[in-house]
A and B are shown apart, each in its own frame.
Chain A
Amino acid sequence: METSRYLLSILVDNEPGVLSRIAGLFSGRGFNIDSLSVATTDDPVVSRITMATTCDAQTIEQIKKQLHKLINVITVTDLTEKKYVERQLALVKIHANPEKRAEILRIVDIFRCRVVDVGHAHYTIEISGDSGKHEAFLSLVKPMGIVEIASTGAIALAREMGK
């Protein structure tokens, strides 16, 4: 079956063990998690989990239903069915030989990223955007030599209706 990337926004009770129930559901049923990001919302007893997964259409149906079946899950929204804004934050440390610095800065400028740390051998760049932007940026800086990356999972919210 054909697979694609899905982005789920899940509101859960902010209680110990809830994340483990969700992670356990995925591992126990052989579902795949691409990325996961969790934090409390403006309501302190509720957390929002944003989860990206790649699977086929039948599997995403089961995932949504199984998530919903967990007692601590309040709502499951499939953002992929809607219009949404998505962001992911990454810190990318790259080799910055003197002859490459100008090009790095040009790329940083085009992608509207920021250089957040400058050393003799490395630049660390902060990039924020959707997963497509991250992929494009990384493919351009990769030839220069990436030292290490720290990246958050995707976070996302549905857009206001009609937009």
Chain B
Amino acid sequence: MKLTGAQILVKMIKAQGVDTIFGYPGGATIEIHDEIVRHDDLRHILVRHEQGAVHAADAYSRAHQTTGVALVTSGPGATNTVTGLASAHADSIPMVVFCGQVPTGLIGNDAFQEVDIVGITRPCTKHNYLVKDPDKLAATIQEAFFIARSGRPGPVLVDLPKDIIQAQIEFTMPEEPNLRSYKPNYKPNKKQIHKVVEMIKAARRPVVFAGGGVILSRSSEQVTRLAKMAQIPVTTSLMGLGAFPGTDSLWLGMLGMHGTFRANMSIGHSDLIIAVGVRFDDRVTGKISKFAPHADIIQIDIDPTSIHKNIEVQCPIVGDCKTTLEHILALMEKQDAKDLAVDRDVWLAQIDQWKQTMPLKYEQKTDVIKPQFVVEKLWEITRGQAIITTEVGQNQMWAAQYYHFDRPNHFITSGGLGVMGFGLPAAIGAKAACPDRLVVDVAGDGSIQMNIQELMTAVENCLDVKIVILNNRFLGMVRQWQELFYNKAYACTNMDKAPDFVKLAEAYGATGYRCTDPACVEETLKKGLDTPGTVIMDFVVEREESVYPMVPAGGAITDMLLV
């Protein structure tokens, strides 16, 4: 059967179970877009900027637990995907980005809208391809999806020259990919499993530290069982929020630079850390030599490069988090329950004392709204059920601290790269994946302006997202650093010249509300969440509020600045 390259592309994308593509056309993709709209079972969401398409595909992937797909044109369309790819790469999100390219005969000639996007994105993708042989098109697409979602997931880019898309190609469905140079190892070493259980039995002050790998491998249930069985308190990285119920008594709160006092202190005093699906990012470890000075570390990760990279570990296990935890749990079940939790009451009492003396706190007075109060009320009103995306900065940290995530895949943030402008397109992607769920972007006044054009995408496609702006008229997180470490020299962080967000919402056909009075926060949230369609809620908050606790960059995580 002969098909065009465009037909093969669409066929192969659909064969992967994909039903939604975020895209933006150009000269190099006209045939592909023309083919897509002929398929009722494949939805194309036309974004307003290619960066938005990639962030939306990223969030779609997380909310739907499948592989997100974006499609853009050559040249500027392709270069606009770089930030989104780098973010997905840092967060290990499975995603495939297709981009148009000039015809193969023109490649290398500095043709109009030609860029070497494979060269540009090599360091920010898991892998990438330039398809030069029409007969390899189908197999390459299949391989791209396979690589994106297997092992440690990540984004893959496929560059598609226009002549390949136009070619008439004899089509047969390719075999399942079998790459001799890529065989991720999912099964853990049995000997190490025994060692883990022995280490748990010997520990008196253990802590589970879970990360994004737990979410990706869908092992939050296993983490929770392990914690409960051995009465081990749990902390997570920013990417791990939701891996363990945020309302459970064993929950310590987030770890790291803006982690809770008790989470950071627990790591500082722990004698055993069970690290699952984490990479010990510097935002979590602080000063490496002072990180967990008394603890042995067990590290479970599918990616061998994550192990021994920043931190020495005593018990490394390369394997899928879920499979590995299942093995550990099976062996734990054979033990006497009390051997797994020796002296745990002493440890838990100590942690409780840290919690009592230094909880997360802020004071809501009657004159100005505190940003934390807005997030806390949002959590109460939505009963913790919303999917929360965030922008970057203080808004992101307050969302992480005050919205207590009980389930995985409900907190969608650009963790590793920290991309301002992520939250709105991400909310759109999450809403496309989960149309029945409430999706809220917790935003900053600076970040929301970075991809504000996507309001039109939300409105056009009836992807109703709710945007909560914590409007401090500052690039708040940078201002906070200036306040604490640069003598309050607020260079270039003042944002008091800003659009009227209510009118802006209206200009896009959405609804806008403004709230300046603490007494009206709850009412505004309820009204905004209940209003059909896309809504901006502009909360004018305390200008110089800071995120606490804070570990100064490079300091030990137990040396926290507290309010």
Contact = CB atoms under 8 A, between A and B. Distances in A.
Contacts of B180: 74
Contact of B303 (A17, A69, A71): A69
B182 A24 contact: no
Interface of A: 12-13, 17, 20-21, 24, 28, 58, 61-62, 65-66, 68-69, 71-74
Given A17-B118, A20-B119, A21-B122, A72 B308 contact: no
B179 interface: yes
A61 B181 contact: no
Interface string B122-160: 110011001000000000000000010000000000000
B304 interface: yes
Given A69-B303, A72-B181, A74-B181, A62 B122 contact: no
Given A24-B122, A69-B305, 8 more contacts: A17-B119, A17-B122, A20-B122, A69-B303, A71-B126, A71-B179, A71-B181, A74-B181
A62 B307 CA distance: 9
B182 A71 contact: yes
B279 to A, nearest CB: 13
A17 B122 CA distance: 9
Nearest to A25: B123
Contacts of A20: 119, 122
B309 interface: yes
A6 B308 CA distance: 19
A74 B123 CA distance: 19
Interface string B286-318: 000000000000000001110011000000000
A62 B181 contact: no
Nearest to B126: A71
Please provide the 9 A-B residue pairs with the shortest distance between their CB atoms, ordered closest to farther.
Answer: A74-B181, A65-B305, A71-B127, A65-B304, A71-B182, A28-B123, A24-B122, A66-B305, A69-B305
A154 B381 CA distance: 67
Contacts of A61: 308
Contacts of A71: 126-127, 147, 179, 181-182
A57 B182 CA distance: 25
A61 B318 CA distance: 15
B495 to A, nearest CB: 34
Nearest to B123: A28
B54 to A, nearest CB: 21
11 contacts: A12-B181, A17-B122, A24-B122, A28-B123, A58-B308, A61-B308, A65-B304, A69-B303, A71-B126, A71-B181, A74-B180
Nearest to B152: A69
Contacts of B309: 62
A63 to B, nearest CB: 10
Q: Considering residues A61, A65, A74, which has the most beta carbons from chain B within 10 angstroms of its beta carbon?
A: A65
